[in-house]
Amino acid sequence: MNSRFTLALAAALSIAVVSQAPAQQAPGQLRDLREKASYSFGMSMGSTLKKQGINIDINLLMQGIKDATAGKTLLTEEQAMQVMQQFEQQMIAEQAAKSKQFLADNQRKPGVQTTKNGLQYKVVRAGKGPRPKATDVVRVNYKASFTNGTEFENNGAKPFTTPVNQVIPGWQEALQLMPVGSKWQVVIPPELGYGAEGSPPAIAPNTALVFELELVEIAKPEATAPPAGGAAQRTTAPPKAR
């Protein structure tokens, strides 16, 4: 049994239970470090739930936290874990269906091309330079979004430098098709992205992703090594969602 949603949610809840402030106060007033930390844990948990699209009842979530701190809950720990596992399975199935439908709709849009592996792309700007090989190191600008249009990652002010063969399969395929100077909109199906595992807490299992991808250049041999701790140490993905 896979427990990505379950573990992420359980961890968030356990942190929130430990950190909950007992007293209520006026909105916007956080008086000390403990109160600020308590609110921060709540923000983090809420952000995780929103990013993964986990549709839960916030009022019952808060009730569960309060009941757990009081030592009197409506469900046993075993019952709660079983329910969360069932909910996770439902979420994974729903996300797979959403991704499949988005891909089916997107491939019918004007200008969208689909490769034999299922990668979808639309040329925004055609480049005239060479195409990189799998062993090349490239510099790219990118924006990463979910299918609902929510952006979750970008390279910032400087291009992202990475070996082509050390990113997710969808990126590898797209980059080797792009001439330098190209800018594409790329839709990556789950099996060419983060797959059935996802990348918790930000990317749920079976999630299709949309990238605006610009191939700036193929790095010169003397400058191909990325900075320590950078993309060379990531074997499956571009920078992970925050």
pTM: 0.74
CB of 167 closer than 8 Å to CB of 215? no
Q: Which residues contact 183 (CB under 8 A, 6 or more apart)?
A: 123, 124, 125, 127, 212, 213, 214, 215
Mean pLDDT over 212-226 rounds to 78
pLDDT digits (tens, 9 = 90+) for 49-93: 777 677 889 899 889 989 999 999 999 999 999 999 999 899 899
Q: Is the peptide bond before 201 cis (omega within 30 degrees of 0)?
A: yes
Dig out the tokens for 173 from the structure. Answer: 């395929």
In this predicted structure, the answer to whether residue 194 has a pLDDT above a threshold of 70 is yes
Mean pLDDT over 212-222 rounds to 89
Could you tell me how many helices (H) and strands (E) the chain has, helices first? 5, 7
At 238, the pLDDT band (50, 70, 90 cuts) reads: low
Structural domains for the chain: 4-74 (no CATH), 112-233 (3.10.50.40)
At 229, the pLDDT band (50, 70, 90 cuts) reads: very low
DSSP track, 3-21: -HHHHHHHHHHHHHHHH--
pLDDT digits (tens, 9 = 90+) for 142-151: 999 999 998 9
* Residue whose entry in the numeric block shows the structure tokens 């079976």: 206
- Tell me which of 39-53, 96-110, 142-156 is least confident: 39-53
pLDDT, greater one: 222 or 73: 73
pLDDT digits (tens, 9 = 90+) for 5-28: 544 554 444 444 444 444 455 556
- Please state, in angstroms and rounded to a whole number, the distance separating the CA atoms of residues 105 and 202: 24
